[in-house]
Amino acid sequence: MIAEPFNYDAPSTLDEAFAMLEAHGDEAKILAGGHSLIPMMKLRFSSPTHLIDINRIPGLAYIKEEDGYLKIGAMTREVDLEDSDLIARKYHIFKDATHLIADPQVRNFGTIGGNLAHGDAANDHPAVMLALGAEVEISSKEGKRTVPIDEFFFGFYTTAVQPGEILTEIRIPAASGKYGSAYYKVERKAGDYAAAGVAAMVQLDGNGNCVKAGIGLTNVNPLPMRASRSEEALVGNQPTDDLIELAARYASEDCNPSEDLRGDEEYKRHLVKVITKRMLKLAIERAQNA
Amino acid sequence: MIECKTSKEIGGMGHSKKRKEDARFIQGKGHYVDDVKLPGMVYMDIVRSPYAYAKIKKIDASKALAIPGVLAVVTGKDLEQYNLHWMPTLMSDTQMVLSTDTVMYQAQEVAAVIATDKYIARDGRDAVIVEYEPMPPVMDPFKSLDPNAPVLRTDKEGKTNNHIWHWEVGDKEKTEDVFSQADVVVKQQMHIPRIHVASIETCGCVAAYNKVENHLTMYMTTQAPHAIRTVIALVAGHVGLTEEKVRVISPDIGGGFGGKVPVYPGYVIAIAVSFLTGLPVKWIEDRSENLQADSFARDYHITAEMAGTKDGQILATRFKVLADHGYTDASANPSKFPTGLFSIGTGSYNYHNAYMEADAVYTNKPPGGVAYRCSFRVTEAVHAIERITDIYAREIGRDPADLRMQNFIKKDEFPWASPTGWSYDSGDYHAGLQKAMDAIGYHELRKEQTELRKQGKLMGIGISTFTEVVGAGPSKDFDILGIKMFDSAEIRVHPTGKAIARFGTKSQGQGHETTYAQIVAEELGIPMEHIQVEEGDTDTAPYGLGTYASRSTPTAGAAAVMAARKLRDKAKKIAAYLLEVSEEDLEWEPGKFFVKGAPEKAKSIQEIVFASYTNHPPGMEAGFEATHYYDPPNLTFPSGAYICVVDVDPETCHIKIRRFVAIDDCGNIINPMIVQGQVHGGLTQGLAPAMYEELIYDEAGNILNGTFMDYLVPTAVESPSWETGHTVTPSPHHPIGAKGVGESPTVGAPPAIVNAIVDAVSHLGIKHLEIPVTPYKLFKELKAVGYFK
């Protein structure tokens, strides 16, 4: 478990980092928390010749509400999401999700930006971001651009982040009113990737009707997947048990899981259905109590 | 509460003393093989086969040798010049060290790269280009016996099939008679899958050959340093490494569990390279190599049958085993026991007819199998008997606890002659199960289960009441490569009354430095804090066969008692001399001899020891030392009664262990806290194969879960809060009545868990579940019986 030889740089500003990215092109990889990249390098699945460690660049880790958004700096550690009062009060889904990400050692290092930029449908944050309708800020020496989460994931390990760019911020429409969210995944043991995972967000009006719904699925599709048909079924309606059942069934029908050691297609579709139902119920309950 | 004969200061048997070794472990000051650094040391990495079965066409090392720092690439052809390309296994089979022409399993050793540091060695490894001609492998042990299957061991002259050996025990005809006349016969096919010990420290060594002295020091992750030294001398004696020129040092070991008993090719290559170069050679496996290439455990396909009456009397059992040994039989069993002690599988029940047979086969999988925290195949045997007993109980509609109570061997029936030839030393099975049932509230749980089922909830209760067989073993039956399985202790007490005690065993986390000190303290009355325990250096420790199979307390622990008693006899003579009385007038209490009726006239053990150096009686040998080699008269037979309660999520099939009560009987207890720790660890390692662990191969021979990402070792998160307790039935033949405990929980836990899960879903039409019982597997089974639409 020893990586191939590589060079290591630790810039102290984003501008320095952009210059290094430019110098090394696609031979370079950004090192954030390192808990996906380093194991891949140690197994020699990935062999970048340059690592650009952005851990020493100040100002990239924060959790705040501002301008109608929840803004999370890309270098925010999972453990900080776990410990944040703001998150605990209004965005339960992060508590749910971070608690299920790997183990405390990993969460002490792993970052939310890295989790997204790794571009792996097995990671947990992509589904959470889909459910919450996030957008992602990507920076380069040319400036900043914003990409909606639905346009962020391109393929296996590839995202909208281009050579020369760094993911710097995640923006989520701020929670208000009767807003609730929840996440759960079935895993074989603590620290495993999901056999299937479901992120759910709902916004209810005064009558208890669903005015907004977001459902993201983990590891049951080549790309992180939005369960659009389920969302559409919910919006504008009372989320009755029957409707939740229907939304859950749509999600299980629309996903595209593949067989691996965690289970076959049938089992994973079954899990998507059960978890979607449970997470919608939990999100609704939280919205009602918000 | 356990009664203690010694004061807390002396700290003999029964005291929950904190472990002496933990100070260094907790502070990160342990000294493991990878901590050994010697001047001029070079590093070795191993090129491994990506194929399960292939011819080697060509090995091109030129690119590797061009890397600065790569010193050499060693192949099988190189070793062949010294006749070191093959080695014997502990079961007298043979194994390639480095292949000269054919690879027989994925991750097999093909070449070794020697470099100035481990990073360069790894780069060199990846730069060696090997051309293979892959062949279709034999992965299925059943197909391995097919007449059309390719013969794998073409290296063995005259070999015409893949059969290794046949073994049987018991009275076949009488058993068949009982079966043919029995009212009830149940039968179940079960697989005890291939698993791995997955100790946190992987295997490795530093081989340091001194050309000037013609002397090899081998620092090595081994559970049996003395046996290894003898094996090295037997294998390499022809090149001058005779036994007195070899020193094996087993420093701190980070978990062994049987996986550090075998000799792996890496050790031999490192020795060969050091011998040829005169340089110290370090080889440390990485995690994947450890999981993929080192000896597996288990892998028994068992057909278990039980015959009984309609009212629940067990009459006979019949087990038929197909054992998948992979490429070579590299088990670590005693020579006469190719299936280990599998014949303990008649269990805790008083019936008189049993027949067991086993056939072993070669396949294109890594070799093994080791006794993973299990006294030689006892886990497999216990799983078979405890599962088939439950299946029988269900067949006749009996409560499984009730049925067990009806069939237990009674307390006064010991020694019990089992139908497969064992003489169980002692036990009180009824008391154990009753205690476990009381602790968990068995009858209330059954009522609750009835209620929950009405609500569509799935809850199950599982029982395992097992008999273990440990402490190998009596020399008449037990040897490894001809060396009898006694073990040894040497006690030296210094003039000031402090002692060093050395043993032929080797702790890998069991806490020997504490346990042995307490045994000596019990016998001599010297405070355990002042008894230094040493193991693992063949130059200083007395000869012994090492630590595995829960044998250390039954053998070396007994040797410590006997050596200490020799010293106590000497102490009595010295005390009589000092007090000017006859020996018959003296009485012992821990720490001193005193004159009967005049307790103020006494000599402490410290005074006596000092006198042995300063004022010993005329005619007596000076000093205070003794050695004993203990040859046990019988094995010991610990037992346990485990009850597990599970709740199964009726939608996700997630299995939660609600409670697990483990009542163990390991005879007299030396350190209750260490025993409890052993039981906790053992139960978790029993949970592992029951619900998580299995080495999985595809048809092409690729391992599908060769990292900890997919080889699922349960952690604290998955483990329930274990509830432990004891009954105490001393071994009548062991000098302190101890039996050994390290393996009981690993052996006893899996069937308790599986019986509980099956119990939770039996009303839905499920009769049996193969381990590991995962939620996924349970879903598929429930789907098959129509529970899920």
Examine the domain organization and report whether B536 and B558 are in the same domain.
Answer: yes
Chain A residue numbers touching B651 (CB-CB < 8 A): 274
B529 in active site: no
Angstrom distance (rounded) from CA B389 to CA B394: 9
End position of a domain, from candidates B226, B255, B284: B284
Residue at B9 is within a domain: no
Q: Tell me: pLDDT of B1 over 70.
A: no
> How many residues comprise chain B?
789
The answer to whether the CB atoms of B288 and A261 lie below 8 A apart is no
- Residue-wise pLDDT for B438-471, tens only, equals 999 999 999 999 999 999 999 999 999 999 999 9
**Cα distances (Å, whole numbers) of residue B708 to A123, B218, B549, B643, B694:** 18, 29, 26, 29, 12
Domain that holds residue B591: 22-30+487-630
Closest among B634, B627, B481, B639 to B551, alpha carbons compared = B634
Q: What is the CATH number of the domain that holds B353?
A: 3.30.365.10
The per-residue pLDDT for range A8-65, each reduced to its tens digit, is 999 999 999 999 999 998 899 999 999 999 999 999 999 999 999 999 999 999 999 9
**Residue B656 near chain A (CB below 8 Å):** no
Calpha distance A218→A255 (Å, rounded)? 10
Q: Which residue of B has its CA nearest to A104?
A: B717
B175: in domain = no
List the single best residue of B657, B710, B777, B787 to mutate versus A (max A Cβ within 10 A).
B710
* Helix or strand holding residue B394 (H, E): helix B378-395
Is residue B613 within 8 Å of B591, Cβ to Cβ?
A: no
Q: Is A267 part of the contact surface with chain B (CB cutoff 8 Å)? A: yes
**Cα–Cα dist B666/B730, whole Å:** 8
A197 within 8 A of A136, measured Cβ to Cβ: no
In a domain, B251, yes or no: yes
Question: DSSP label at B83?
Answer: T
Given a cut of 80, is residue B2 above it in pLDDT?
no
Whole-number mean pLDDT of chain B?
96
pLDDT digits (tens, 9 = 90+) for A72-83: 999 999 999 999
Angle among Cα B448, B450, B454 to the nearest 5 degrees reads: 115
Name the residue with higher pLDDT: B481 or B415. Answer: B415
d(CA A177, CA A171): 19
In angstroms, the CA B128 to CA B70 distance is 11
* Chain length of chain A: 290
CA distance B723 to B436: 10
* Cβ pairs A/B, distance under 8 A: 53
Amino acid residing at B748: G
- Say yes or no: B616 and B732 in one domain: no
pLDDT at A93 over 80: yes
Q: Average pLDDT for residues B273-302, to the nearest whole number?
A: 96
% of chain B beyond a pLDDT of 70: 100
CA–CA min distance A262, chain B (Å): 7
Q: How many CA atoms lie within 13 A of B349 on its CB side?
A: 31
**Do residues B440 and B410 both lie within one domain?**
yes
Given a cut of 80, whether residue B241 has pLDDT beyond it is yes
pLDDT computed for residue B480 by the predictor: 87
Query: Which residue out of B108, B194, B305, B374 is catalytically annotated?
Result: B374
Give counts: helices (H), strands (E), chain A.
Answer: 11, 14
Please say whether the dihedral angle defined by the alpha carbons of residues B169, B175, B176 and B177, taken in this order, is positive or negative. Answer: positive
B67 contacts in chain A (CB < 8 Å): none
Of the residues B583, B614, B630, the one at which a domain ends:
B630
- Helix, strand, coil % in chain A, rounded to nearest 5: 40, 25, 35
**Judging by DSSP bridges, how do beta strands B281-284 and B42-48 pair with one another?**
parallel
Interface touch A188/B704, C-beta < 8 Å: no
Cβ–Cβ of B692/A188 closer than 8 Å? yes
Phi, psi of B96 (to 5 degrees): -70, 140
Same domain, B620 and B564: yes
pLDDT, tens digit, 9 for 90 and up, residues B557-590? 999 999 999 999 999 999 999 999 999 999 999 9
The pLDDT score that the predictor gives to residue B234 is 86
Contact residues on chain B for A4, CB-CB shorter than 8 A: 123, 126
Per-residue burial over B147-163, b if 16 or more Cβ lie within 10 Å, else e, is: eebeebbeeeeeeeebe
Say if strands B42-48 and B109-115 run parallel, antiparallel, or are unpaired: antiparallel
Cβ B710–A261 below 8 Å, yes or no?
yes
What would the mean pLDDT of B388-394 be, rounded to a whole number? 98
Among residues B574, B595, B630, the one where a domain terminates is B630
Which residues of chain A neighbour B707 with C-beta distances below 8 Å? 43
Considering its fold, how many domains does chain B have in total? 3
Kindly list the distances between the CA atom of residue B639 and the CA atoms of A74, B337, B642, B726, in Å, as whole numbers in the listed order.
56, 22, 10, 10
What pLDDT is stored for residue B546 in this prediction? 93
**Whole-angstrom distance, CA of residue B359 vs CA of residue B321:** 6
Spatial contact of B293 and B307, defined as CB atoms under 8 Å apart = no
B373 catalytic residue (yes or no): yes
**The domain over range A63-173 is classified in CATH as 3.40.640.10:** no
Q: Which range, of A177-186, A267-276, B106-115, B472-481, averages the lowest pLDDT? A: B472-481
Contact B573, B609 (CB under 8 A): no
Which single residue is written with the structure tokens 């790569």?
B70
B555 and B598 in a common domain: yes
From chain A, pick out residues whose CB is under 8 angstroms from the CB of B774.
188
Cα B419 to Cα B710: distance, rounded to the nearest angstrom: 41
The alpha carbon of residue B698 is apart from the nearest alpha carbon of chain A, in Å, by 11
Q: How far is CA B714 from CA A190, B668, B683, B710, in A?
A: 8, 31, 11, 11
Would the CB atoms of A195 and B776 count as touching at under 8 Å?
yes
CATH number of A7-53: 3.30.43.10
Domain assignment present for residue B553? The answer is yes
- Cα separation of B504 and B486, whole Å? 9
Q: Which residue has the tokens 């080697």?
A: B56
**Residues B463 and B598 placed together within one structural domain of the fold:** no
User: Which member of B123, B696, B710 has the closest CB to residue A4?
Assistant: B123
pLDDT for residue B501: 98
Q: What pLDDT, on the 0 to 100 scale, is given for residue B428?
A: 98
B714 touches chain A (CB under 8 A): yes
**Cα–Cα distance for residue pair B710/B721, rounded to 1 Å:** 24
> Which pLDDT does position A50 carry in this prediction?
97
Average pLDDT rounded to a whole number, residues B744-773? 98
Check whether residue B379 and residue B448 sit in a common domain.
yes
Asked whether residue A122 carries a pLDDT value surpassing 80, the answer given is: yes
Q: Shortest CB distance from A261 goes to which of B118, B288, B696?
A: B696
pLDDT in tens, B620-659: 999 999 999 999 999 999 999 999 999 999 999 999 999 9
Residues B336 and B414 in one domain: yes
B577, B762 Cβ separation under 8 angstroms: no
- Specify the CATH architecture of the domain A178-289: 2-Layer Sandwich (3.30)
- Residue B740 to residue B667: CA distance in whole angstroms: 8
Q: 3-class SS at B211? A: coil
B9-57 residue pLDDT tens: 999 999 999 999 999 999 999 999 999 999 999 999 999 999 999 999 9
pLDDT in tens, B679-726: 999 999 999 999 999 999 999 999 999 999 999 999 999 999 999 999
Distance CA B78, CA B100 (A): 9
Q: Do domains A63-173 and A178-289 have the same CATH topology?
A: no
ipTM, interface predicted TM-score of the complex: 0.96
Residues A191, B776: C-beta atoms closer than 8 Å: no
Does B788 reach chain A within 8 Å, measured CB to CB?
yes
Q: For residue range B158-210, list pLDDT tens digits in order.
A: 999 999 999 999 999 999 999 999 999 999 999 999 999 999 999 999 999 99
Residue numbers of A between 21 and 80 with CB closer than 8 Å to B: 43-44
**What CATH code is carried by the domain that includes residue B89?**
3.90.1170.50
In this prediction the pTM is 0.97
pLDDT tens, residue by residue, B512-563: 999 999 999 999 999 999 999 999 999 999 999 999 888 999 999 999 999 9
Per CB-CB distance under 8 Å, the chain B contacts of A190 are 715, 717-718
Q: Is B518 labeled as catalytic in the residue annotation?
A: no
> What does the pLDDT average to over B245-261?
96
Q: What 8-state DSSP symbol labels residue B114?
A: E
Q: Are residues B115 and B234 in the same domain?
A: yes
| Residue B650 at interface with chain A, using a CB cutoff of 8 Å | no
Q: Same structural domain for residues B705 and B758?
A: yes
The catalytic position among B373, B377, B387, B568 is B373
Which of the four pLDDT bands, split at 50, 70 and 90, describes residue B386? Answer: very high
Q: Which residues of A touch B119 (CB under 8 A)?
A: 2, 5
Tell me, yes or no, if B743 is annotated catalytic. yes
For residues B621 and B639, membership in a common domain is answered with no
pLDDT in the model for residue B481: 84
- Measure Cα distances from A217 to A158, A252, B82 in Å: 18, 10, 60
Listed by start position, the domains of chain A span 7-53, 63-173, 178-289
Looking at the fold, whether B738 and B590 belong to one and the same domain comes out as: no
Whether A60 and A75 have beta carbons less than 8 Å apart is answered as yes
